[in-house]
Structure 1
Amino acid sequence: MDKAALRKSARDRRAAAHGVVDPAPALANLEKVLGETEGRISFYWPIRTEIDPRPLLKKLCAHREVCLPVTTGFKPLIFRAWSPGAAMVADSFGVEVPADETEVIPEVLVVPLLAFDERGHRLGYGAGHYDRTLDKLRPEGPVTAVGFAYEAQLADTLPIEPTDQPLDAIVTETGIRRFQVTS
């Protein structure tokens, strides 16, 4: 199956889970994993049927620095600090991002995805934003990348490219999968 067909199948599975699967267990699992980390956390502002991390984003910003990613073409993501009530603007993809253009660097990234496998690989939308970002950040210091998804997004296998960056963990409503990532 080619990547376009895999993406369509993954989108359909995610859409079927969205609004049906209770996200509370996934959020509790994500909170547990993030509680084991240190440093600034990058969340994402959900689009389409992505599982919504915002309840935890709002909760954790009381005692952790949090930020959101911003796309800048086909380059690594940049990150801007976020807090409740922060002014937001739509980026070129229509995603809400902080209006304050001050850049920050996260040590932990909560990563959206279309599909994942049992080895810690993810299938994204195809632009390579998170792969480029992790490739840039990992050599600069410890970075933890946590995929956040519905269990329905699990795929038997995914095509892996040399530029694909594995995740350190994947969190769903059914549990936590951890992986040994070497930089």
Structure 2
Amino acid sequence: MTMAEVKAAARKTAFATRKAAFAAGQGQAAELLADALSPHAGKVLAGYMPMRTEIDPLPAMAAHDGPVCVPVIMGAAQPLRFREWTPGCALVPGEFGALIPAEGAWLEPAVLIVPLLAFDARGFRLGYGGGFYDRTLQGLRARHDVVAVGFAFAAQEVAEVPIDATDQRLDAVLTEGGPVRLLRPPPAM
């Protein structure tokens, strides 16, 4: 089985797991996320507009003391760009149906809330397969310090996410049950 096939099978299982966790409710997840982000007040925060069964970061984004932006897909195999977001701003459909601000400044985040399908204790995440966040994190990390926080339901944790050389680690994962302890240092690949 190729890595692409392994990841595709893992995504199928992860979608079903996340759907079940979403149906069970989100608890105090957004409040925990807002508290976890408070040390980053004043920094540019990138969140995301939740789609389907993704855990909702919008209350934490609205509570952030500093500029907030959301990802915009510029094209296949390109890193994300981030457009300024405020509660109530005009939104339009972007690629893959994600809502994006109709207008606003382009910002470069120092802290990112990252959606995912699955995560493991090593800090790796399984995304949707486009590589957008991996390319973006690699580029941002080459320019400056950045903190990538995965936001997920606790049920989305798996024993091991299948990875390849382009996958970027998260710095932290926060669930409705609180922060997940990640193993340090990153494993050799």
TM-score of the superposition, structure 2-length normalised? 0.89
Q: For residues 95-139 of structure 1, what are the alpha-carbon distances to aligned partners after superposition, in whole Å with 9 as ceiling and x for unaligned?
A: 100111531111000000000001100000000000000000011
Deviation of 1:5 (Å) = 1.1
| Matched residue, 2:114 | 111
Distance 1:86 1:181, change over 3 A: farther
2:111 & 2:63 partners in 1: Cα distance? 16
1:20 counterpart (19, 24, 29): 24
Contact 1:41–1:108 (8 Å) recurs in 2 = yes
2:79 & 2:8 partners in 1: Cα distance? 22
Deviation of 1:59 (Å) = 2.2
Contact 1:81–1:102 (8 Å) recurs in 2 = yes
| Matched residue, 1:142 | 145
| Matched residue, 2:163 | 160
Contact 1:168–1:178 (8 Å) recurs in 2 = no
Consecutive unaligned residues in structure 2, runs of 5 or more: none
**1:171 aligned onto 2:149:** no
RMSD: 1.6
Contact 2:46–2:113 (8 Å) recurs in 1 = yes
Matched-pair identity in %? 47
Deviation of 1:57 (Å) = 1.5
Which sits farther off after the overlay, 101-110 or 158-167?
101-110
| Matched residue, 2:130 | 127
Contact 1:167–1:181 (8 Å) recurs in 2 = no
1:45 counterpart (29, 32, 49): 49
Contact 2:26–2:55 (8 Å) recurs in 1 = no
Say which SS state the counterpart of residue 165 (structure 1) adopts: coil
2:69 & 2:15 partners in 1: Cα distance? 26
1:128 & 1:101 partners in 2: Cα distance? 25
1:58 counterpart (56, 59, 62): 62
Distance 1:22 1:92, change over 3 A: closer
Say which SS state the counterpart of residue 174 (structure 2) adopts: strand
Deviation of 1:21 (Å) = 2.9
1:181 & 1:53 partners in 2: Cα distance? 27
| Matched residue, 2:83 | 80
1:91 & 1:134 partners in 2: Cα distance? 20
Query: What letter is aligned with 1:43?
Result: G
| Matched residue, 1:70 | 72
Deviation of 1:64 (Å) = 1.4
Query: What letter is aligned with 2:178?
Result: G
Say which SS state the counterpart of residue 97 (structure 1) adopts: strand
Contact 1:23–1:51 (8 Å) recurs in 2 = no
1:92 & 1:29 partners in 2: Cα distance? 29
Consecutive unaligned residues in structure 1, runs of 5 or more: none
